[in-house]
Structure 1
Amino acid sequence: MMLIGGLLGLVIGAVLGLTGAGGGIFAVPALVFGLGMDIRGATPVALMAVGSAAMLGALQGLRQGLVRYKAAIVLAAAGTITAPLGVRLANWLPSRWLNLIFVVAMLVVAYRMFMSSRGARNDGELSVAQSGVCKVSKDTGRFIWNLRTVTTLASIGAVSGLFTGMLGVGGGFIIVPALGYFSELRMHSIVATSLLVIALLSAVTVFITFGQSLSLTAPTWAFSAVALVGMAVARFLGAKIPSTALQRIFAIACIVVAIMMLMRNMG
């Protein structure tokens, strides 16, 4: 079981490092199917692994000057307020409903990834429609702060925190596309900033659930530790993989796992 946990962690860390999203969306099913955990018990374990791996990626982004840390603080602060509500919803909703919500989330992620792949440019950046609500200075590459910027970022963070607390997902698959649409940041900066927010929200949610549904065994420790290795390797190799192919493989994998989760829910 330790070997299975380690292999699953390696894959999850790699997915997170390559996409800046999707760690939790695959981590929870991996723990459910690979280690036989219930979705409630899998959520905090997945967050611990994903959060640790995300922090490693965020530190790399900070060294490279890619992380917009002020924006990350606003996003994480708003998410910290709604994450406890998400945890309460997870404890209140029946497991069957949690599974169904998770399946819907995976299908939304698959659709977003596939549509993003259709707009990918040759340089690896995504050509996404931008509303320009959160303006970025052309001189510094940093946000131009005003009430509209703060409100928009806080709203994104609040939604992300709710889903993080409830399902162990929401950091990447909400923050990355939202920042892509509402801000003028380049994608590599969006991914790095997203990783820092994921790390902070994961830490808060794990702290809330500690002693409730958090169960740490040898396989789950292996899962969390090896996820760091997967993240490090993926961040190194990510630039060499065409973004279009990566996103389409990710989308197909999401659909397959969603079907598996749905079949398990109906069983």
Structure 2
Amino acid sequence: MLLAIHLFTALLMGAGLGFLGGLFGIGGGIVAVPMFVLGFGMDQPFAQGTALVLMVPNLLVGWWRYQQRHPMPWRAMAAIGVSATLTTWLIARVATRMDPHMLRWLFSGFMGLLALRLLSTARQSTPPQEQRLDLRVLPLVGMVGGSSMGLLGIGGGLLAGPLLSGWLGQRQTTAQGLSLALVAPSSVVALATYAQAQRVDWTLGVPMALGGVLTVSAGVALAHRLPERPMRTAFAMMLAATALWLIIGPHLLG
């Protein structure tokens, strides 16, 4: 009976995270990690490893579906994907040995900076003029995104997307396609590294992943019906509040 309740609860939470991920166009990990830390009392590396169980299937399916609609050149995908995967593996080995409190501070700082960026770009609507894609700089973008995936378990696409669309002047479809080519294989390597270091709760992560797969499409469908700017602002405020609570919450509760 207790096992059935545990599975049902995990499926329900995964469904909620999958829906939010589809609604805001993010990986579920950026919401799951704070929930695991604050709600389940996990330490930061354990929360990041468990969240990767939820993220991996969604990212792999998303990459496959996006590649069907917007095929990317294989050389570009290899340049960004291989560099990101190797960087993820190296940084993840370090992250699993880091002090959990230091890792939580880094995660909170990343969420705070992301919230500020979302707020600053909420009013921007003019897309950049597309430029020719320079394959020589893609490994650098892969290393930046891979570093975030390895250290925090999230953020590879959130960092790579603006670099590809802003710095390299790519269309949004190209930026999204290459970002998925970065984060999908990197998430698999990150999960394997965290699992090898025994930083994954499979009994919680697997049913949550199943629940998330069932609802992510519904979140995407609703996102297309709602105004983008208020949603982005609300999401940024939620990230800022969560980052602040990750820092001060343990002190207040303690």
Conserved 8 A contact 1:161-1:171: yes
Distance change (3 Å), C-alpha of 1:250 and 1:67:
farther
Match of 1:52 among 48, 57, 64: 57
Distance (Å, rounded) in 2 between the aligned partners of 1:236 and 1:43: 27
Cα drift, residue 190 of structure 1: 2.5
Cα shift at 1:261: 0.6
Q: Please report the RMSD computed on the Cα atoms of aligned residues, expressed in angstroms.
A: 2.4
Give the 5 Å matches for 1:128-139.
135-136=131-132
Of stretches 52-61 and 85-94 in structure 1, the one that deviates more from structure 2 is: 85-94
Aligned partners of 2:53 and 2:202 also within 8 Å: no
Q: Does 1:9 align with 2:45?
A: no
Greater CA drift, 250-259 or 68-77:
68-77
- TM-score with structure 2 length normalisation? 0.85
Counterparts in 2 of 1:115 and 1:68: CA distance versus 1, 3 Å: farther
Distance in structure 2 (CA, Å) of the matches to 1:13 and 1:70: 31
For the pair 1:99 / 2:104, whether they are aligned, the reply is yes
Decide which moves more: 186-195 or 72-81.
186-195
The 1:75–1:104 alpha-carbon spacing in structure 2 relative to 1, beyond 3 Å, is same
CA distance in 2, matches of 1:158, 1:11: 31
CA distance in 2, matches of 1:200, 1:260: 31
Match of 2:193 among 173, 186, 208: 208
| Count of residue correspondences | 247
What's the CA shift for 1:251? 0.3
Q: Distance in 1 between matches of 2:170 and 2:226?
A: 22
**CA–CA distance in structure 2, aligned partners of residues 169 and 209 of structure 1:** 13
Q: Report percent identity of matched pairs.
A: 24
The answer to whether the 8 A contact 1:56-1:231 is kept is: no
Classify 1:129/1:223 alpha carbon distance in 2 versus 1 (closer, same or farther; 3 Å). Answer: same
1: CA distance between counterparts of 2:140 and 2:23?
26
Partner residue in 2 for 1:123: none
2:94 corresponds to 1:109: no
Q: Is the 8 A contact 2:83 2:139 kept in 1?
A: yes
**Distance change (3 Å), C-alpha of 1:187 and 1:240:** farther
Q: Is the 8 A contact 1:20 1:194 kept in 2?
A: no
Moved more, 102-111 or 58-67: 58-67
- Structure 1 residue corresponding to 2:208, chosen from 191, 208, 223: 223
The separation in 1 between residues aligned to 2:100 and 2:206, in whole angstroms, is 24
Could you say if the C-alpha distance between residues 217 and 47 of structure 1 is closer, same or farther in structure 2, counting changes exceeding 3 Å?
closer
Q: Does structure 1 retain, via aligned residues, the 8 Å contact 2:157–2:179?
A: yes
Give the CA deviation at 1:46: 1.1
Match of 1:264 among 205, 224, 249: 249
Q: Secondary structure at the match of 1:184?
A: coil
Distance 2:113 2:74 in 1: 27
Which of residues 76, 92, 98 is equivalent to 2:81? 76
Partner Cα separation in structure 2 for residue 66 and residue 113 of structure 1? 28
Structure 2 residue ranges without an equivalent (≥5) = 1-5
SS at match of 1:118: coil
Q: Normalized against structure 1, the TM-score is what?
A: 0.81
Query: 2:45 & 2:241 partners in 1: Cα distance?
Result: 21
Q: Deviations over 1:207-247 (max 9, x none)?
A: 22223224334332221111212322223333222221221
For residue 252 of structure 1, report the CA deviation from its aligned partner: 0.9
Equivalent AA in structure 1 for residue 167 of structure 2 = F
Q: Name the SS for the 1:241 alignment partner.
A: coil
Query: What is the alpha-carbon distance in structure 1 between the residues aligned to residue 226 and residue 174 of structure 2?
Result: 18
